A and B are shown apart, each in its own frame.
Chain A
Amino acid sequence: MIFGAAVVINRNPVASALSLVMSFLGLAALFMSLNACFIGIIQVLVYAGAVMVLFLFIVMLLDVRAEKGRQINWLTSTAGLAVALILLGEILSVVGHFEIAHKAFPPLPGSTVDDVRNIGVVLFRNYNLPFQIVGVLVLVATIGVVLLSKREPR
């Protein structure tokens, strides 16, 4: 389960991106084990497919070298690691004191085979306005990306 722990440690950007793909696939497996097949499939398609291809393409386009020969500022590194460890300890203690966190999952009487249909019903019945707002957001993001990556004519 915790094989995503070795993701960020890689110094080479390409190796880091590939281990991120593995981490996303593991997360998709976790979603599947939680009876959320639709979310798992979306995770594989969007993250492991589209987003990681985008990352690898940018790494290839920019020809990024591994961070080597760069002196590490030990003070800031230790401070950042300490803040992350404090955050981790805080999350673990909160989960440890959480009473319902020690209960097992209740059994699922209904079938989750028609997962997509149920999610679609909830999405279009209760969350129709946010769905359309997200559509506008994606359109704006597309136009913005095209404008940003266009070279301005001189």
Chain B
Amino acid sequence: MITLGDYLIVSGILFAIGFAGVMLRRNLIIILMSLELMLNAANLSLVAFSRFRVDSTGLPNYNAQVFVFFIITVAAAEVAVGLAILVALYRARQTTDVKDISSLKF
């Protein structure tokens, strides 16, 4: 028997993995990938709650799935803009390492 908590635990583990990736890795591309992982963990918990909340017509609650749709759209746009910024940064500095980009460091 699969409960709602199982999906929430998987979602939490994925979110923690993505967070650890953002904190630990030095490569900007991998940091963006970890951000995607965190967004997907949030999506998973939203879809799990949507399936859990069956309304009177016997269908899952579609508000959460519409929200997931919006999240996926915004995440795709965000990845495109982030990677374009990354390419521009690489042209200027020849690096994708966050250690080497420290102009704003006080």
Contacts and interface: CB of A to CB of B under 8 A. Distances in A.
Partners in one complex: yes
Interface residues of B, number: 71
Contacts of B77: 137-138, 141
Contacts of A144: 81, 84
Nearest to A98: B5
* Interface of A: prevailing SS: helix
B8 A95 contact: yes
Given A7-B37, A46-B76, A110 B58 contact: yes
B3 interface: yes
Contacts of A75: none
Contact of A36 (B13, B17, B50): B50
B83 interface: yes
Most buried by B among A8, A27, A104: A8
Nearest to B90: A62
B83 to A, nearest CB: 5
Interface of A: 1-2, 4-5, 7-8, 13, 16-17, 20, 23-24, 27, 30-31, 34-36, 38-39, 42-43, 46-47, 50-51, 54-55, 58-59, 61-62, 64, 67, 70, 77, 80-81, 83-85, 87-88, 91-92, 95-96, 98, 100-110, 112, 118-119, 122-123, 126-127, 130-131, 134, 137-138, 141-142, 144-145, 148-149, 151
Given A67-B25, A95-B5, 13 more contacts: A8-B30, A27-B43, A30-B7, A36-B50, A36-B68, A39-B69, A80-B20, A83-B19, A84-B17, A87-B16, A108-B59, A134-B70, A148-B88
